[in-house]
């Protein structure tokens, strides 16, 4: 069976996010943090569920899209079945007329179940806050958190990491404001990249790289700060390791883990931006002050007078 590009498999998810802009049919179902059951004999349109699970015993005449949960089909789905952050299980009489995509969860198909479209499954991925937790997803999340943040700390060295840890304790309001600004700028740049023609992939990669460096650097400082609050954790390296594990555990909390991830995506770049990747606690204010230039003599005398 031919395999489609990964991006095309995400199309149903994107459509479920922007679909409400054009309205929805009366028989469509949308839920947040509340499980959906399509009973036997029941027929519905599209089913979209955020941080919940969907069980199809009847017939869904559209697509089933779940973000942060899983799908179980014992009846029929005319369109696609997409679970981002959960697994998909097809019972012995299940029929899916489109594609089946399980991101951050396994795919199970009983004998007798049929799928007309492609089947894609990536159980090693993880979506922060997903309700279903699988061992392979946990290994990926913890491994990436600890590995990348530890690597960032080793590159930055102790002095820079500890400076950023101090910034977290003393300037948490300012780093949150800066983080929102940096994240907004990053999103704007990604949107603008779509209008650059053939240069789009390169420019998008550069923007992603700059944001990623800032996020990892700030994340190392945040990990050092959090690790320092734990008992019997000594040394800056141990603090970074313990803090990285703690951040991974927080992202494993169902539903709330997504909130933790969003907060990290805001705070971490703010830490790196304010401190200049750990150069100084007030690196950004100093930089802005230098660019303003020296105060004119007349203004200086007036202020002294």
pLDDT tens-digit map of 248-260: 999 999 889 999 9
pTM: 0.79
Interval 181-240: pLDDT, tens: 999 999 999 899 888 888 888 988 999 999 999 999 999 999 999 999 998 888 899 999
Cα separation of 291 and 182, whole Å?
Answer: 20
Write down the pLDDT at residue 288: 87
Write down the pLDDT at residue 300: 45
CB atoms within 10 A of CB 303: 8
Nearest to 53, CA basis, from 42, 68, 75, 63: 68
pLDDT at 266 over 70: yes
% of the chain with per-residue pLDDT over 70: 87
Arithmetic mean of pLDDT, 67-79: 94
pLDDT at 299 over 90: no
Strand intervals (E) in the chain: 29-32, 36-38, 43-44, 47-50, 54-56, 59-60, 64-67, 71-73, 76-77, 81-84, 88-90, 95-96, 100-103, 107-109, 114-115, 119-122
* Residues forming a β-bridge with 67: 50, 84
């Amino acid at each position: 069976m031919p395999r489609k590009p990964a991006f095309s498999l995400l199309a149903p998810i994107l459509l479920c996010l922007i679909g409400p802009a054009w309205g929805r049919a009366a028989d469509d179902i949308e839920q947040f943090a509340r499980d959906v059951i399509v009973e036997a004999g029941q027929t519905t349109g599209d089913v979209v569920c955020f941080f919940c699970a969907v069980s199809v015993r009847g017939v869904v005449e559209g697509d089933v899209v779940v973000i942060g949960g899983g799908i179980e089909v014992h009846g029929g789905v005319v369109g696609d079945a997409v679970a981002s952050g959960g697994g998909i299980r097809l019972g012995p009489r299940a029929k899916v007329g489109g594609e089946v995509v399980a991101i951050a969860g396994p795919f199970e198909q009983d004998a007798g179940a049929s799928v007309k479209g492609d089947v894609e499954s990536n159980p090693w991925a993880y979506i922060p806050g997903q309700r279903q937790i699988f061992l392979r997803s946990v290994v990926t999340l913890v491994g990436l958190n600890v590995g990348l943040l530890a690597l960032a700390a080793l590159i930055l060295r102790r002095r820079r990491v500890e400076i950023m840890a101090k910034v977290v304790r003393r300037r948490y309001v300012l780093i949150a404001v800066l983080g929102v600004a940096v994240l907004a700028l990053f999103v704007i740049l990604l949107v603008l990249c779509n209008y650059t023609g053939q240069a789009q992939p390169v420019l998008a990669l550069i923007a992603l790289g700059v944001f990623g460096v800032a996020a990892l650097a700030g994340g190392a400082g945040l990990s050092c700060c959090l690790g320092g609050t734990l008992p019997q954790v000594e040394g800056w390296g141990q603090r970074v390791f313990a803090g990285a594990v703690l951040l991974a555990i927080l992202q494993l909390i169902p539903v709330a883990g997504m909130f933790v991830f969003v907060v990290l995506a805001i705070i971490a770049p703010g830490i790196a931006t304010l401190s200049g990747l750990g150069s100084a606690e007030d690196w950004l204010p100093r930089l802005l002050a230098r660019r303003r230039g020296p105060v004119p003599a007349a203004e200086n005398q007036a202020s002294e007078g």
